[in-house]
Amino acid sequence: MADLLPQCLIHKILCLHSFKRAAQLSILSKTWLQAWLTIPNLSYSLGYLEHNMKKVMDNIMERYRDGKIPIEKLDLSYSVYSNEVFPLFNKWLDIALQNGVKDLVFRVPSHLTSYPLPMLTILATKSLRELVLTGCDLYCVSLSSGVVNCYSLRKLSLTQVGLGDNTLQILLNSCPFIDSLILDYCSWLKKIELLNNLPKIKSVFIRKSGTQLVKIQAPSLEHLSYFTGGEEFAMFDIDAPNLVSLEYKGFKFPATFMDANLQWSCYPTRFVLDSTSETIASFMDVLMHMMSSSHSTSHGSNKPLHRQLKEVKADKYDWENQRWHCDPVELGSERMAIRDLKDKFCFLLYWSCN
Protein backbone atom coordinates (compact mmCIF):
# COMPACT_ATOMS: atom_id res chain seq x y z
CA MET A 1 0.00 0.00 0.00
CA ALA A 2 2.87 2.39 0.81
CA ASP A 3 4.24 1.92 -2.73
CA LEU A 4 1.12 3.53 -4.19
CA LEU A 5 2.15 6.94 -2.90
CA PRO A 6 3.96 9.24 -5.36
CA GLN A 7 7.56 10.07 -4.56
CA CYS A 8 6.79 13.77 -4.01
CA LEU A 9 4.31 12.84 -1.26
CA ILE A 10 6.75 10.39 0.31
CA HIS A 11 9.32 13.21 0.33
CA LYS A 12 6.88 15.40 2.26
CA ILE A 13 6.25 12.61 4.77
CA LEU A 14 9.96 11.95 5.26
CA CYS A 15 10.68 15.66 5.71
CA LEU A 16 8.32 15.69 8.69
CA HIS A 17 10.71 13.38 10.55
CA SER A 18 14.31 13.65 11.66
CA PHE A 19 16.93 12.49 9.17
CA LYS A 20 17.61 9.41 11.30
CA ARG A 21 13.91 8.51 11.51
CA ALA A 22 13.51 9.06 7.77
CA ALA A 23 16.36 6.61 7.18
CA GLN A 24 14.52 4.01 9.26
CA LEU A 25 11.36 4.47 7.18
CA SER A 26 13.34 3.73 4.01
CA ILE A 27 13.09 0.00 4.75
CA LEU A 28 9.35 0.00 3.99
CA SER A 29 9.91 -0.64 0.31
CA LYS A 30 12.16 0.09 -2.65
CA THR A 31 10.00 3.12 -3.43
CA TRP A 32 10.55 4.55 0.04
CA LEU A 33 14.26 3.73 -0.16
CA GLN A 34 14.57 5.61 -3.45
CA ALA A 35 12.64 8.54 -1.95
CA TRP A 36 14.96 8.63 1.06
CA LEU A 37 18.02 8.58 -1.19
CA THR A 38 16.75 11.79 -2.82
CA ILE A 39 15.11 13.46 0.18
CA PRO A 40 15.43 17.24 -0.30
CA ASN A 41 15.83 18.12 3.40
CA LEU A 42 19.13 17.14 5.02
CA SER A 43 19.77 17.53 8.74
CA TYR A 44 23.12 16.64 10.34
CA SER A 45 24.23 17.02 13.93
CA LEU A 46 27.86 16.29 14.78
CA GLY A 47 28.44 15.78 18.49
CA TYR A 48 31.29 14.73 20.73
CA LEU A 49 30.55 11.02 20.35
CA GLU A 50 29.71 11.05 16.65
CA HIS A 51 33.07 11.38 14.90
CA ASN A 52 32.33 8.17 12.98
CA MET A 53 29.35 9.93 11.40
CA LYS A 54 31.60 12.28 9.46
CA LYS A 55 32.34 9.67 6.79
CA VAL A 56 28.69 8.69 6.52
CA MET A 57 27.60 12.31 6.16
CA ASP A 58 30.38 12.99 3.65
CA ASN A 59 29.34 10.00 1.51
CA ILE A 60 25.74 11.24 1.48
CA MET A 61 26.76 14.74 0.41
CA GLU A 62 29.03 13.36 -2.32
CA ARG A 63 26.13 11.27 -3.64
CA TYR A 64 23.98 14.41 -3.84
CA ARG A 65 26.81 16.22 -5.62
CA ASP A 66 27.52 13.47 -8.15
CA GLY A 67 23.83 12.86 -8.84
CA LYS A 68 23.00 16.57 -8.87
CA ILE A 69 20.13 15.82 -6.50
CA PRO A 70 18.24 19.02 -5.51
CA ILE A 71 18.61 20.14 -1.90
CA GLU A 72 15.80 22.23 -0.45
CA LYS A 73 17.17 22.56 3.10
CA LEU A 74 20.47 21.86 4.83
CA ASP A 75 20.42 21.93 8.64
CA LEU A 76 23.93 21.53 10.02
CA SER A 77 24.91 21.74 13.69
CA TYR A 78 27.97 20.69 15.65
CA SER A 79 29.32 20.79 19.18
CA VAL A 80 32.86 19.57 18.56
CA TYR A 81 35.74 21.96 19.07
CA SER A 82 37.97 20.69 16.31
CA ASN A 83 39.41 22.41 13.25
CA GLU A 84 39.42 19.06 11.47
CA VAL A 85 35.75 19.35 10.56
CA PHE A 86 36.09 22.82 8.97
CA PRO A 87 37.09 21.54 5.50
CA LEU A 88 34.09 19.21 5.57
CA PHE A 89 31.76 22.09 6.46
CA ASN A 90 33.10 24.06 3.50
CA LYS A 91 32.67 21.07 1.21
CA TRP A 92 29.10 20.35 2.35
CA LEU A 93 28.08 23.98 2.10
CA ASP A 94 29.50 24.20 -1.43
CA ILE A 95 27.56 21.10 -2.47
CA ALA A 96 24.33 22.45 -0.98
CA LEU A 97 24.76 25.84 -2.67
CA GLN A 98 25.59 24.22 -6.03
CA ASN A 99 22.50 22.01 -5.73
CA GLY A 100 20.19 25.00 -5.27
CA VAL A 101 19.63 24.97 -1.50
CA LYS A 102 16.81 27.30 -0.44
CA ASP A 103 16.95 27.08 3.36
CA LEU A 104 20.30 27.00 5.15
CA VAL A 105 20.57 26.45 8.92
CA PHE A 106 23.95 26.43 10.66
CA ARG A 107 24.16 26.07 14.44
CA VAL A 108 27.21 26.04 16.68
CA PRO A 109 27.53 26.74 20.44
CA SER A 110 28.45 30.38 20.98
CA HIS A 111 31.75 29.42 22.68
CA LEU A 112 32.85 27.55 19.53
CA THR A 113 33.05 30.44 17.10
CA SER A 114 36.36 29.88 15.33
CA TYR A 115 34.85 28.47 12.13
CA PRO A 116 35.22 31.08 9.34
CA LEU A 117 31.77 30.92 7.80
CA PRO A 118 32.04 31.62 4.01
CA MET A 119 29.44 34.39 3.99
CA LEU A 120 30.38 35.80 0.60
CA THR A 121 29.93 32.38 -0.98
CA ILE A 122 26.60 31.90 0.80
CA LEU A 123 25.26 35.31 -0.22
CA ALA A 124 26.35 34.80 -3.83
CA THR A 125 23.87 31.96 -4.36
CA LYS A 126 20.73 32.87 -6.29
CA SER A 127 18.44 30.27 -4.70
CA LEU A 128 18.78 31.03 -0.99
CA ARG A 129 15.55 32.20 0.64
CA GLU A 130 16.19 31.51 4.35
CA LEU A 131 19.43 31.81 6.35
CA VAL A 132 19.48 30.82 10.02
CA LEU A 133 22.74 31.19 11.95
CA THR A 134 23.32 30.40 15.62
CA GLY A 135 26.55 30.97 17.55
CA CYS A 136 28.65 31.97 14.53
CA ASP A 137 31.33 34.65 14.59
CA LEU A 138 31.08 37.11 11.71
CA TYR A 139 33.67 39.48 13.16
CA CYS A 140 36.36 37.61 11.28
CA VAL A 141 34.35 37.70 8.04
CA SER A 142 35.10 40.62 5.74
CA LEU A 143 31.98 41.49 3.78
CA SER A 144 33.12 44.92 2.64
CA SER A 145 35.97 43.44 0.58
CA GLY A 146 33.59 41.83 -1.88
CA VAL A 147 29.98 42.78 -1.30
CA VAL A 148 27.43 40.67 -3.16
CA ASN A 149 23.67 41.04 -3.32
CA CYS A 150 21.40 38.18 -2.34
CA TYR A 151 18.08 39.27 -3.81
CA SER A 152 16.44 35.89 -3.18
CA LEU A 153 16.81 35.95 0.63
CA ARG A 154 13.52 36.44 2.46
CA LYS A 155 14.32 35.41 6.04
CA LEU A 156 17.46 36.17 8.06
CA SER A 157 17.81 34.83 11.60
CA LEU A 158 20.88 35.56 13.75
CA THR A 159 21.05 34.10 17.27
CA GLN A 160 24.04 34.78 19.52
CA VAL A 161 26.01 35.74 16.43
CA GLY A 162 29.12 37.86 16.90
CA LEU A 163 29.07 40.80 14.52
CA GLY A 164 29.60 44.54 14.61
CA ASP A 165 27.30 47.38 13.63
CA ASN A 166 28.96 47.91 10.26
CA THR A 167 28.81 44.20 9.36
CA LEU A 168 25.10 44.10 10.16
CA GLN A 169 24.40 47.10 7.93
CA ILE A 170 26.39 45.63 5.05
CA LEU A 171 24.57 42.34 5.48
CA LEU A 172 21.12 43.98 5.48
CA ASN A 173 21.96 46.21 2.52
CA SER A 174 23.12 43.13 0.61
CA CYS A 175 19.75 41.43 1.14
CA PRO A 176 17.22 44.19 0.41
CA PHE A 177 14.17 41.94 -0.02
CA ILE A 178 14.17 40.36 3.45
CA ASP A 179 10.64 40.22 4.86
CA SER A 180 11.47 38.51 8.18
CA LEU A 181 14.39 39.45 10.45
CA ILE A 182 15.40 37.88 13.78
CA LEU A 183 18.21 39.31 15.93
CA ASP A 184 18.38 37.24 19.09
CA TYR A 185 21.00 38.13 21.72
CA CYS A 186 23.55 39.51 19.28
CA SER A 187 25.14 41.27 22.23
CA TRP A 188 28.19 42.68 20.42
CA LEU A 189 26.00 45.09 18.51
CA LYS A 190 26.00 48.63 19.92
CA LYS A 191 23.00 49.67 17.87
CA ILE A 192 20.39 48.08 15.64
CA GLU A 193 19.16 50.34 12.86
CA LEU A 194 16.63 49.58 10.15
CA LEU A 195 16.42 52.88 8.30
CA ASN A 196 14.32 52.25 5.21
CA ASN A 197 16.93 49.80 3.87
CA LEU A 198 14.51 46.84 3.90
CA PRO A 199 11.54 47.99 1.78
CA LYS A 200 9.77 44.57 1.97
CA ILE A 201 10.20 43.90 5.70
CA LYS A 202 7.06 42.57 7.38
CA SER A 203 8.23 40.98 10.64
CA VAL A 204 11.05 41.86 13.05
CA PHE A 205 12.00 40.04 16.25
CA ILE A 206 14.66 41.58 18.50
CA ARG A 207 15.85 40.18 21.82
CA LYS A 208 18.64 42.31 23.14
CA SER A 209 20.94 42.56 26.13
CA GLY A 210 22.72 45.58 27.45
CA THR A 211 22.02 49.11 26.29
CA GLN A 212 21.72 48.66 22.54
CA LEU A 213 20.01 51.49 20.68
CA VAL A 214 17.22 50.24 18.43
CA LYS A 215 15.95 52.56 15.71
CA ILE A 216 13.45 51.43 13.12
CA GLN A 217 12.05 53.32 10.14
CA ALA A 218 10.10 50.80 8.10
CA PRO A 219 6.82 51.76 6.39
CA SER A 220 6.17 48.13 5.38
CA LEU A 221 6.65 46.67 8.88
CA GLU A 222 3.56 44.89 10.24
CA HIS A 223 4.77 42.81 13.20
CA LEU A 224 7.39 43.72 15.78
CA SER A 225 8.53 41.74 18.82
CA TYR A 226 10.99 43.48 21.12
CA PHE A 227 12.37 41.76 24.22
CA THR A 228 14.94 43.24 26.54
CA GLY A 229 16.50 41.79 29.66
CA GLY A 230 17.63 43.40 32.88
CA GLU A 231 16.34 46.68 34.28
CA GLU A 232 17.97 49.04 31.82
CA PHE A 233 15.78 51.56 30.02
CA ALA A 234 14.86 50.50 26.52
CA MET A 235 16.38 52.85 23.96
CA PHE A 236 13.78 52.36 21.32
CA ASP A 237 12.70 54.59 18.45
CA ILE A 238 10.21 53.29 15.92
CA ASP A 239 8.51 54.82 12.90
CA ALA A 240 6.27 52.18 11.35
CA PRO A 241 2.92 53.66 10.30
CA ASN A 242 1.54 50.32 9.04
CA LEU A 243 2.39 48.31 12.15
CA VAL A 244 -0.37 45.84 13.05
CA SER A 245 0.99 44.11 16.15
CA LEU A 246 3.67 44.95 18.69
CA GLU A 247 4.92 42.70 21.49
CA TYR A 248 7.17 44.12 24.18
CA LYS A 249 8.81 42.31 27.09
CA GLY A 250 10.99 44.12 29.60
CA PHE A 251 11.12 45.81 32.98
CA LYS A 252 11.47 49.35 31.67
CA PHE A 253 9.08 50.53 28.99
CA PRO A 254 10.19 52.99 26.25
CA ALA A 255 9.23 56.57 27.04
CA THR A 256 7.79 56.90 23.54
CA PHE A 257 4.76 54.87 24.62
CA MET A 258 4.51 56.09 28.21
CA ASP A 259 3.88 59.79 27.60
CA ALA A 260 0.40 60.42 26.29
CA ASN A 261 1.51 63.87 25.07
CA LEU A 262 4.04 62.40 22.64
CA GLN A 263 2.93 61.60 19.13
CA TRP A 264 3.02 57.88 18.49
CA SER A 265 4.73 57.05 15.21
CA CYS A 266 2.96 53.70 14.93
CA TYR A 267 -0.61 52.63 15.55
CA PRO A 268 -0.74 48.90 16.30
CA THR A 269 -4.13 47.28 16.71
CA ARG A 270 -2.65 44.56 18.94
CA PHE A 271 -0.20 45.44 21.70
CA VAL A 272 1.15 42.67 23.97
CA LEU A 273 2.96 43.98 27.05
CA ASP A 274 4.88 41.64 29.37
CA SER A 275 6.35 43.71 32.19
CA THR A 276 6.07 44.67 35.83
CA SER A 277 2.62 45.38 37.23
CA GLU A 278 3.61 48.97 37.90
CA THR A 279 4.65 49.52 34.29
CA ILE A 280 1.47 47.93 32.93
CA ALA A 281 -0.69 50.02 35.26
CA SER A 282 1.07 53.20 34.12
CA PHE A 283 0.56 52.21 30.50
CA MET A 284 -3.14 51.73 31.18
CA ASP A 285 -3.27 55.27 32.52
CA VAL A 286 -1.66 56.53 29.31
CA LEU A 287 -4.22 54.70 27.18
CA MET A 288 -7.12 56.07 29.22
CA HIS A 289 -5.71 59.59 28.91
CA MET A 290 -5.30 59.20 25.16
CA MET A 291 -8.89 58.10 24.78
CA SER A 292 -10.19 61.02 26.83
CA SER A 293 -8.13 63.62 24.97
CA SER A 294 -9.52 65.25 21.89
CA HIS A 295 -6.01 65.60 20.48
CA SER A 296 -2.38 65.20 21.52
CA THR A 297 0.75 67.15 20.76
CA SER A 298 4.21 66.02 19.81
CA HIS A 299 7.34 67.24 21.58
CA GLY A 300 5.77 70.47 22.71
CA SER A 301 4.29 71.36 19.31
CA ASN A 302 0.62 71.75 18.47
CA LYS A 303 0.73 69.12 15.75
CA PRO A 304 -2.24 66.76 16.21
CA LEU A 305 -2.04 63.03 16.06
CA HIS A 306 -2.80 61.44 12.71
CA ARG A 307 -5.04 58.95 14.48
CA GLN A 308 -7.14 59.14 17.61
CA LEU A 309 -7.41 56.26 20.06
CA LYS A 310 -11.12 55.56 20.39
CA GLU A 311 -11.41 52.26 22.22
CA VAL A 312 -9.24 49.77 24.12
CA LYS A 313 -9.91 46.18 25.11
CA ALA A 314 -7.51 44.34 27.38
CA ASP A 315 -7.03 40.62 28.04
CA LYS A 316 -4.90 39.38 30.93
CA TYR A 317 -2.69 36.33 30.56
CA ASP A 318 -3.37 33.38 32.86
CA TRP A 319 0.11 32.12 33.78
CA GLU A 320 -1.21 29.12 35.67
CA ASN A 321 -3.24 27.74 32.76
CA GLN A 322 -0.99 29.21 30.05
CA ARG A 323 -3.78 30.98 28.20
CA TRP A 324 -5.51 34.33 27.82
CA HIS A 325 -8.53 35.09 29.98
CA CYS A 326 -11.77 34.90 28.04
CA ASP A 327 -13.32 37.97 29.65
CA PRO A 328 -11.87 41.36 28.65
CA VAL A 329 -10.50 43.57 31.43
CA GLU A 330 -11.80 47.09 31.97
CA LEU A 331 -8.89 49.49 32.29
CA GLY A 332 -10.29 51.56 35.10
CA SER A 333 -11.32 48.65 37.32
CA GLU A 334 -8.11 46.69 36.73
CA ARG A 335 -5.86 49.66 37.47
CA MET A 336 -6.16 49.17 41.22
CA ALA A 337 -6.58 45.39 41.07
CA ILE A 338 -3.08 44.57 39.84
CA ARG A 339 -1.18 42.85 42.59
CA ASP A 340 1.30 40.50 40.92
CA LEU A 341 4.91 41.55 40.51
CA LYS A 342 4.81 40.56 36.85
CA ASP A 343 1.94 40.61 34.39
CA LYS A 344 1.16 40.16 30.74
CA PHE A 345 -1.65 41.91 28.91
CA CYS A 346 -2.88 42.01 25.35
CA PHE A 347 -4.37 45.37 24.40
CA LEU A 348 -6.62 45.64 21.36
CA LEU A 349 -6.44 49.23 20.17
CA TYR A 350 -9.05 50.85 17.95
CA TRP A 351 -7.94 53.98 16.13
CA SER A 352 -9.74 56.53 13.99
CA CYS A 353 -8.21 58.98 11.55
CA ASN A 354 -8.33 62.66 12.43
The secondary element (H helix, E strand) that includes residue 96 is helix 86-98
CB neighbour burial string for 53-64, b if at least 16 within 10 angstroms, e if fewer: ebeebeebbeeb
Phi, psi of 308 (to 5 degrees): -110, 130
Please tell me the distance from the alpha carbon of residue 194 to that of residue 172, in angstroms, as a whole number.
9
Residue type present at position 226: Y
Highest mean pLDDT among 153-157, 205-209, 280-284: 153-157
Which residues does 50 contact at the CB level (< 8 Å), separation at least 6?
Answer: none
pLDDT at residue number 299: 44
Q: Which helix (H) or strand (E) holds 156?
A: strand 155-159
Average pLDDT over residues 165-188: 92
> For 226-275, what is each residue's pLDDT tens digit?
998 765 556 788 899 999 999 999 887 777 777 655 567 888 999 999 98
15: enclosing H helix or E strand: helix 7-15
Q: Give the pLDDT score at 337.
A: 52
Do 314 and 279 meet the contact criterion of CB atoms below 8 Å apart? no
341 pLDDT more than 80: no
Q: Give the Å distances, CA to CA, from 65 to 60, 91, 98.
A: 9, 10, 8
CA distance 133 to 135: 7
**What pTM did the predictor assign?**
0.85
| DSSP H or E segment with residue 53 | helix 53-66
Helix (H, G, I), strand (E, B) or coil at 155: strand
Return phi, psi of residue 64, to 5°: -65, -35
Percent of the chain with pLDDT over 90: 32
Do the beta carbons of residue 197 and residue 172 sit within 8 Å?
A: yes
Where in the chain are the domains? 1-39
pLDDT digit string (tens) for 178-235?
999 999 998 888 889 999 999 999 999 999 866 778 899 999 999 999 998 765 556 7
Q: Lowest mean pLDDT of 123-132, 231-240, 324-333, name the range.
A: 324-333
DSSP3 helix / strand / coil % (the chain, rounded to 5) = 30, 30, 45
Give 213-258 as a DSSP string.
EEEEE-TT--EEEEEE-SSPPPEEEEE-TT--EEEEE-SS--GGGT
Can you name the residues that pair with 276 across neighbouring β-strands?
342
Contact 352, 281 (CB under 8 A): no
